Amino acid sequence: MAQPPRPERLIGEILGEPSARMRNPANADYQCPFLNGQCIKRGHHLAGPYPVCSVRRKTKPNLITVCPKRFLEADIVADVIKHCWPGKPPQNPRISHEVSMAKFGKVDLVICDYDAQAHAVREFVSVELQAVDISGSVEPAYTGVLNSASSVQVSYGINWANVRKRYIDQLVAKCFYHSQWNTRIVAVMQSPLYDYLRAHMQFDEMSPGAGGVDVAFLLYDYVESDDHHTLIFDRVVGTSHSSLMMSTLYQKTPPKSAFTKRILERLE
């Protein structure tokens, strides 16, 4: 029978540090290096912050980001301007955080080309940060790290499907508005999440410099080490609003034989 895993094998990072190096986040006042302030995440059964940035799956060793603020380690503004900005680069790039509007919802940040003299926005690109959801809970593993437990019993998984159902619907709606505004929205996520979405949704993959791109997936992944795990730029993939929308409506069709088999199983 397999031995229960060590908790630091399951919890990837705490406050941006490998979990084995950050066993007492309270002593660090729960200061998040990506926010330059205290961690804002909360757990269901914890009194204070829940500063878990990434986890590992039980069957695969690679880190998976569970907090969208983790992406702020990367120079997202520079990467958006370099890889995702439509047309000429902005002359005076400025940032607005958490911009919201009725019927539109909220985006994490907007990068705009600001005309200071006219106090006007020349062009803009919206940016959303997307991590994965977890089914079950890794809180017992987090508590195990804090208590230096040798092993821990925990039940959880990466809820890829929930991200696909919840996030993509929102992205399609926001993408529509941006296409009408003749600009685009940038979806920042980890490469494994994008790969999952692409495997289940056959939208067109386009160069971000191509015409007709309404959304650009700006992808990052980890370079791991004992001292620090670093999120680095991986690639950018563009697509259109119409292609993304159609891929949510018409997904890969299962074989007809599989459905007829189910019919036979349920014959009365």
Q: What is the pLDDT of residue 251?
A: 64
Q: If pLDDT is split at 50, 70 and 90, which confidence band does 46 have?
A: confident
Asked whether 9 and 58 are in contact (CB, 8 A), the reply is no
Q: What is the DSSP letter of 25?
A: T
131-180 residue pLDDT tens: 999 888 888 899 899 988 888 888 888 888 888 888 988 999 999 999 99
67-97 residue pLDDT tens: 999 999 999 999 999 999 998 999 999 999 9
215-231 residue pLDDT tens: 999 999 999 998 999 99
Half-sphere exposure of 90 (CA within 13 A, CB side): 25
pTM of this structure: 0.89
Mean pLDDT of 36-49: 86
Q: Does the structure show a pLDDT above 80 at 3?
A: no
CA gap 57, 63 in Å, rounded = 8
Q: Would you call 35 helix, strand, or coil by DSSP?
A: coil
Domain ranges of the chain: 7-249
Six-digit token string for 162: 């929930």
166-200 residue pLDDT tens: 898 899 999 999 999 999 999 999 999 999 999 98
Query: Can you list the alpha helix ranges (DSSP code H) found in the chain?
Result: 7-10, 76-83, 139-146, 160-180, 191-200, 241-249, 256-265
